[in-house]
Chain A
Amino acid sequence: MSGSPTLYGAVATRGFRRYATYRSATVAGIFTNTVFGVIIAYTYLALWHARPNLGGYGAAQALTFVWVSQSLIMPVGLFGGGIVEEYAERVRSGAVAVDLHRPVPLLGIRLAEDLGRAAYHLLSRGVAPTVVGALAFTLAWPRTAPTWGLFAASVLLAVVIGFAIRYLLGLLAFWVIDTTGFAALLTISQIFFSGMALPLVVFPSGLRALSDALPFRCLVQVPLDVLLREDTGAAALPLIGVQVLWAAALLGVGGALTRAAVHKVVVQGG
């Protein structure tokens, strides 16, 4: 059983359109991301003013970090939501039985849908606040096209990893009745250990080592490392490499757990 590329394409397009329908929600989101961007930009300016070159960043790099990380919040699903709550609800209500009966892999369909959603959020809530940030502050952009290419690849991998993490949390609903607490714990881990709260280059060594061992840094810190280092040679490969490994591992576990969940489901009929 596997879906055809056309099917996945169609699902991704629907994922894109589903979110593109709510225009006022998009505008509201852009406004909120921009307000937070401005507040965080001033805190980072104060921090880097007191400690120039902290963590190897200059003020322009730190500000770029602020605006690009704001633009990644929605595409990588940093605050959770979406599939997690939807899934937990579908497991509780039993609607998931229908999903599992469809002649296409659940993981693939959900990934395609989420890629469509992420594309929309990147184009709307990603680009718009960054433009405001670039107009209001001096940012540091890469000067070479290959860096942009690598950054695009890194963002795509970040979206896939973000999806895989939330998919695993969604599957948890097969075994745990109430996933609210886990969802909250995951969200805070994503915010703190991804670099969203504060770039990981600023973390003390112990905390840095812990965050390096977790997959969350692939969501924000790694794409920004690719963007800010502007090195498309050997230095960028380990960054992309670690994302590929995490993506493969998390999707692999996701696939295995989906099969386990299928065996767990008892359809009560009715």
Chain B
Amino acid sequence: MGDALRGYRIIAGSWIRASLTYRASFVTLTLTSVLITFLDFAIILVMFSHLTAFGGFSLSSIAVIYGMSGFSLGMADLLLGNTELVGRRVRDGSLDSMLVRPVPTLVQLAADHFALRRMGRVVQAVGVLGWGVATAGIGWTPARVAVLAGALVTGSVIFCSIFVMGGAFQVFAGDASEVANAFTYGGNTLGQYPFTIYPADLVKALTFILPMAFINWYPALYVLGRPDPFGFPEWLQWASPVVTAGFVVVAGCSWRAAIRRYRSTGS
């Protein structure tokens, strides 16, 4: 594990140094990335020019929900987003050379072409989240602080697991890399809004079958001090760490299975 982290640090560090060589280009790209994600929140602002509450939640509360989801996806995209490129590496054969190097394959995949400019989304999410928690009138308790901080970590780890599962899927499916987008970017879009706008059956599925509601929805309910609108038990709002552990195990197994079954294209 220590070796893996060291490998990640060395590879990512060299890419960061490389990107900072062209400083103007780096600054432009990072600012563009902040702007792009800002326009994403602008959609919600435009909706609120016609509304005072959406799905029973105020703009400030939605900023909290949105920020938690955006931060989690942003961190996962920064750390492991490059696993999206597995399909291309299978096609051009560069995955083969990674398999024989003394650093775990997943670490190489994630750290190669590490793009610090992806901090843009994280910065924007922190801004929206900060504004949300400052204005939503949250009665802070140590438990709420802990759940919020914990959810930022577990949410990021869940999205990381989804990126890894998407990468594993690509080893088998090659061209079908876009399927992963439905769960990463789609999961983020889904989590930007209070789940009260979705049908109860969909929320049940997102709790018990594909437990993406634990990324931000359940912890956000706790932080905002809201009873579950669907009448689900309150302990779900505490369950994110357990669910996250499940995600990590499934992602780890699927990645191992993918690498074991991998057959080079021979190119």
- A180–B32 Cα distance when bound, in Å, is 10
Count of A interface residues, CB-CB < 8 Å: 35
- A27–B178 Cα distance when bound, in Å, is 9
Q: How large is the interface on B (under 10, 10 to 19, 20 to 34, 35 or more residues)?
A: 35 or more
Q: Is A107 an interface residue when CB atoms closer than 8 A count as contact?
A: no
Would you mind naming 22 contact pairs between A and B with Cβ atoms under 8 Å apart?
A24-B176, A25-B178, A28-B176, A28-B178, A29-B178, A31-B182, A32-B178, A32-B186, A36-B182, A36-B189, A42-B197, A50-B50, A178-B22, A184-B29, A187-B36, A192-B39, A192-B42, A197-B43, A202-B46, A202-B47, A202-B50, A204-B46
Which one of A24, A35, A54, A188 lies within 8 Å of B175 (CB-CB)?
Answer: A24
Nearest 4 CB-CB pairings of A with B:
A28-B176, A46-B197, A25-B175, A35-B182
- A204–B51 Cα distance when bound, in Å, is 13
> What is the CB-to-nearest-CB distance from A199 to chain B, in angstroms, rounded to a whole number?
10
Closest to B30 in A: A181
Closest to B179 in A: A28
Closest to B181 in A: A32
> What is the CB-to-nearest-CB distance from A93 to chain B, in angstroms, rounded to a whole number?
16
Q: Is B15 an interface residue when CB atoms closer than 8 A count as contact?
A: no
Q: Is B267 an interface residue when CB atoms closer than 8 A count as contact?
A: no
Closest to A203 in B: B46
> What is the CB-to-nearest-CB distance from B18 to chain A, in angstroms, rounded to a whole number?
13
> What is the CB-to-nearest-CB distance from A136 to chain B, in angstroms, rounded to a whole number?
11
Most buried by B among A45, A180, A181, A192: A181
Could you list which residues of chain A lie within 8 angstroms of chain B, going by C-beta atoms?
Answer: 22, 24-25, 27-29, 31-32, 35-36, 39-40, 42-43, 45-47, 50-51, 54, 178, 180-181, 184-185, 187-188, 191-192, 197-198, 202-204, 207
> What is the CB-to-nearest-CB distance from B158 to chain A, in angstroms, rounded to a whole number?
17
- A25–B181 Cα distance when bound, in Å, is 12
- A248–B50 Cα distance when bound, in Å, is 37
Chain A residues with CB under 8 A of B33: 184
Chain B residues with CB under 8 A of A24: 173-176
Q: Is B93 an interface residue when CB atoms closer than 8 A count as contact?
A: no
